[in-house]
Amino acid sequence: MNIGRPAPGEELNPGDVTVPRLAATVILLHGGGRALEVLLVRRNPESRFMGGAWVFPGGAVDAHEGEGDAALRAAAVRELEEEAGVSVPGPEALVPFSRWITPAEVKIRFDTWFFLAALPEGAEPKVDGSEIVDSRWYAPAAALEAGERGEIPLVFPTIKHLEQLSAFASADELLAFARGRDVLPVQPKVVLLGEIARVVLPGEPGYED
């Protein structure tokens, strides 16, 4: 993926490497055994970090939430409630799916765990209108197509997750796949080719250079 102009908060860092902050994100699923849909929310365009981008609900772990798995789950539950107005039955309802660490070459960095959660029966997303200004359900492939058409700005981690999610026919199938699966960290790398910055994943050409 080539980057012409980094999204707000994704600027490259010319100085010392920033220590990533622990964060949690929720991929909210809809559809059960029917066609899979996921919730994307739009960050306020005035936000310093990823302003205007369509993302999965999430944010940094607060100091009072502690450390480890319990802190990640508490942050994920809190962020889903604050940003999308959805309350899951409890932290145990979250299923770990992936862990992404922001490239060392970027200023603002997070060590983010992505959790899956099924939309509780009767729940309806409702954005806060401040940090988050809109929300929509998308089939993963449809979200990618909307991003390619320029209808919704998407950032690299969201795009790569939507690509993964596109392989699953339903929320039930996705949850069955994720349960009991080992989650290994993924840390993309930014490779500079002249004035062009290219993001590569482990195993892709240029990552080990």
pLDDT over 80 (residue 148): yes
Q: What average pLDDT does the structure give for the chain? A: 90
Helix, strand, coil share of the chain (percent; to 5): 25, 30, 45
Q: Measure the CA–CA gap between 89 and 189, rounded to whole angstroms.
A: 37
pLDDT at 133 over 50: yes
Whether residue 183 has pLDDT greater than 90 = yes
Q: What is the pTM of this model?
A: 0.90
CATH architecture for the domain at 14-184: Alpha-Beta Complex (3.90)
At 33, is the pLDDT very low, low, confident or very high (cuts 50, 70, 90)?
very high
pLDDT at site 9 = 54
| DSSP codes of every residue in 74-142 | HHHHHHHHHHH----S-GGG-EEEEEEE--TTBSS-EEEEEEEEEPPTT------SSSEEEEEEE-HHH
Residue 196: predicted pLDDT: 76
Average pLDDT over residues 54-67: 94
> What whole-number distance in Å separates Cα of residue 31 and Cα of residue 194?
45
Domain borders along the chain are 14-184
The pLDDT assigned to 194 comes to 67
